[in-house]
Amino acid sequence: MRRLRCLGLMLALSLLLSCCAPKEYSAQTFAMDTVMSFTSYGREGERAVSAAAAEAGRLEGLLSVTRPESDIYAVNHAAGAWTQVSQETFDLIGRCLELCRACGGALDITAYPAVRAWGFTTGEYRVPGAEERVDLAARIDYTAVELDREQCRVRLPEGMELDLGAVAKGYAGDVLAGLTVRSGAESAMLYLGGNVHTVGRKPDGSLWRVGVQDPQGEGYLAVVEVENQAAVTSGGYQRFFEAEGETYWHILDPASAAPARSGVLSATVVGDCGLVCDGLSTALFVLGAEEAARLWRTLGEFEYILILEDGSVQITQGLEGRFSLAGSGEGREVQVIRP
Ligand code: AMP
Ligand code: MG
């Protein structure tokens, strides 16, 4: 009899707890060439995740380099003429150009002719010859992009083309997180490929735990805890091909129009703005450890994790206490970068 009562009590308790726990809602979509997955909690969670999935599709339509209806496609096919774009695209290009400048050109949103020549858009991979690379590098120059604020127009010299691939998912994360909050959700986790965007904390009040992938193996090598922030990773392992024993990845050094080889295998940037984190993660991958630290000391307002070729890890001071090695990362050397 006593056991029955105890069982009844436990059942009532678990029922009560499941009623109190906020309901979880998820949605998946494929946009911007990546699988996106959104999880949101609470009463408005369902509305939030379906709105996010629809919005991701809209942003792809606006910013895609391959879709003929996109603003970016129109600019790239204008043969040197002015092209009118939406206010949103115009503002985004302006912000991207500022980021390119802040990174000293390591991030350059005019890399498209080179990205295409290596086959990273089409999947028809090839290694352009030395002469071709010199020509491609000469066509990467964000300072040649002209903006006409009055008429919301953009102009590129003929032969140059925009590619927002290094920043678009970060921007999408910002937009989707804003939408999720406006939909009434207080807690959400948005995965956009290598980009993670969090809204608030987890429903139980703890921080979100974001895994940092092992660029040379399966699974995670570290975990970083975040709240209301983005954590964006750029890594050579995310898209690459092999030819004659050499690995060529999709992040190019604008100076050489060839895959960046800086000794960095992956760069994760943590900060409040997804667009900035995305642009910087690409830039840090190109710049390498020394220049990354210099940029962090000058710009501030972001933190980073670098996984280097020798297997060691660097984190910036702001991540101390929020970063821990895990899985294949256990026992690795971690260097803390300080101001
Ligand atoms: P991410 O994964 O954010 O580092 O962005 C990589 C993508 O951005 C590539 O697939 C290219 O489309 C483009 N890209 C490659 N190298 C650069 C670069 N140095 N600056 C800007 N965009 C780049
Ligand atoms: Mg990026």
Output the CA torsion sign for 44, 47, 51, 52.
positive
Share of the chain above pLDDT 70, in %: 94
Q: Would the pTM count as exceeding 0.85?
A: yes
Cα distance between residue 28 and residue 31, in whole Å:
10
Which value, to the nearest 10 degrees, does the dihedral of the CA atoms of residues 305, 308, 313, 317 take? -40
What pLDDT is stored for residue 279 in this prediction? 98
Residues whose beta carbon lies within 6 Å of some atom of ligand 1: 107-109, 111, 115, 120, 163, 165-166, 234, 238, 250-252, 254, 278, 281-282, 286
Using most ligand atoms within 8 A of CB, pick from 33, 120, 264, 282 the residue to mutate for ligand 1.
282
Give the number of the atom of ligand 1 that is nearest the alpha carbon of residue 254: 19
> What pLDDT digit, counting tens, does each position of 42-89 carry?
878 888 888 899 999 999 999 999 999 999 999 999 999 999 999 999
> What pLDDT digit, counting tens, does each position of 123-171 carry?
999 999 999 999 999 999 999 999 999 999 999 999 999 999 999 999 9
Q: Considering only CA atoms, which residue is closest to atom 2 of ligand 1? A: 234
Q: Considering only CA atoms, which residue is closest to atom 8 of ligand 1? A: 166
What string of DSSP letters covers 119-168? TTTTS------HHHHHHHHHT--GGG-EEETTTTEEE--TT-B---TTTH
> Which ligand sits nearest to residue 240's alpha carbon?
1
What separation, in Å, do the N-terminal and C-terminal C-alpha atoms of the chain show? 67
Mean pLDDT of 8-33: 71
What string of DSSP letters covers 288-318? -HHHHHHHHHHH-S-EEEEEETTS-EEEEGG
What average pLDDT does the chain have? 93
Q: What phi, psi does 201 have (nearest 5°)?
A: -110, 180
